[in-house]
Amino acid sequence: MTIQMTSRRRMSHAPRQGTAAAVEPPLLNLGSGPAVVIGWVNIDRSPNALLDRWGATKLILRRAGLLSEAHMTSWPREIVRADIRNLAYADSSVRAIYSSHTLEHLYYREAEQVLRESYRVLQPGGVLRLALPDAEAIAREFTTGCSDGDPTATLEFNRRLNAHPLERPSALTSLRNLAGGHTHRWQPSPTLLEHMLVCIGFAEVHHRTFRVGLCPDLAKVETRPTSFFIEGLR
User: Does residue 159 sit in the same domain as residue 119?
Assistant: no
- Whether 29 maps to a domain, the answer reads yes
Helix axes 108-121, 190-200, angle to 10 degrees: 50
Selected residue with higher pLDDT from 48 and 148 = 148
- Whether 58 maps to a domain, the answer reads no
Non-local (6+) Cβ contacts of 149 within 8 A are: none
- Whether 175 maps to a domain, the answer reads no
- Whether 49 maps to a domain, the answer reads no
User: Does residue 164 sit in the same domain as residue 86?
Assistant: no
- Whether 218 maps to a domain, the answer reads yes
Average pLDDT over residues 140-163: 93
Query: In total, how many domains does the chain have?
Result: 2
Average pLDDT over residues 22-41: 93
Q: Of 177, 185, 222, whose CA–CA distance to 48 is shortest?
A: 177
Look at residue 15 and tell me whether its pLDDT is greater than 50: no
User: Does residue 124 sit in the same domain as residue 146?
Assistant: no
Task: Compute the distance between CA of residue 131 and CA of residue 228 in angstroms, rounded to an integer.
Answer: 6
Q: Which residues of 204-229 are buried (b: 16+ CB within 10 A; e: fewer)?
A: ebbebeeeebebbbbeebbeeeebbb
Helix axes 153-161, 135-147, angle to 10 degrees: 170
Task: Compute the distance between CA of residue 138 and CA of residue 171 in angstroms, rounded to an integer.
Answer: 30
Look at residue 110 and tell me whether its pLDDT is greater than 80: yes
3-state secondary structure of 119: helix
User: Does residue 116 sit in the same domain as residue 197?
Assistant: yes
Report pLDDT digits (tens) over 183-201. Answer: 899 999 999 999 999 999 9
Domain of residue 155 covers 135-170
Non-local (6+) Cβ contacts of 158 within 8 A are: 164, 166
DSSP-assigned letter for residue 80: B
- Whether 27 maps to a domain, the answer reads yes
User: Does residue 121 sit in the same domain as residue 141?
Assistant: no
Pick from 86-90, 102-106, 162-166: least confident: 162-166
User: Does residue 193 sit in the same domain as residue 215?
Assistant: yes
Average pLDDT over residues 217-221: 98
pLDDT of residue 164: 80
pLDDT bracket for residue 75 (50, 70, 90)? confident
